[in-house]
Chains A and B, each alone.
Chain A
């Protein structure tokens, strides 16, 4: 069965620090990969997604993620975080040709001003 692991449940960083949030999935076939973000008091929204092509995907607000097929990973990165990046981040996976999305447990990021 598919599963998604986000190993960091809580991350605290100072402004301008670099960010990397881990996401690993278990599925041997072709997958579609997503990062969603939920800012305090707001809805879940898409940050970026990967379907095919260049494994380095750029999203909104300076975020990027790299798909490494051999490692079954899709880690989220940002070179310099801001206080406004404080949010909960969810990785999600969908096996191509299926309807089912699997979300990770989320990582709560707190950025200190």
Chain B
């Protein structure tokens, strides 16, 4: 079974630029999560989708971050414009509805904003 795929793995941008991350969850997984993990901290949930609907985005900075999950499969997370404090690893995870909510994580995208 293929795991959660994310791209790119690394990205360096200057502040005020925009950036997009892509995630392809495990096939058949209905739930998809985006997390932000700042160095020295645990993952912080940004947004959670169930199929193509948003179930929680309370911690998503909506003035600059956006995410979509068209057709309930893969997802993109965008930052526009980026700030220095957005430097972090962005993790995508997925889970099937019947797994007892175990999350399967991708390798993450490491973002550095200069």
Enumerate chain A interface residues (CB-CB to B < 8 A).
Answer: 4, 6, 32, 34, 36, 43-46, 49, 51, 90, 92, 94, 98-106
Number of interface residues of B (CB under 8 A): 25
Distance (Å) between the CB of A92 and the closest chain B CB? 8
Q: Apart from A45-B104, A46-B102, A90-B43, what are 7 other A-B pairs with CB-CB below 8 Å?
A: A43-B3, A44-B93, A100-B45, A100-B56, A100-B58, A103-B35, A105-B40
Number of A-B contacts (CB under 8 A): 51
Q: Which residues of B contact A99 (CB under 8 A)?
A: 48, 55-56
CB distance from A93 to the nearest CB of B (A): 11
Asked if B101 is at the interface (CB within 8 A of a chain A CB), the reply is yes
**Residue pair A94, B101 in contact (C-beta under 8 Å):** yes
Q: Using Cβ atoms and an 8 Å threshold, which residues of chain A touch B48?
A: 99-100
CA distance A46 to B101 in the complex (A): 10
- For residue A32, which residues in chain B have a CB less than 8 angstroms away from its CB? 101
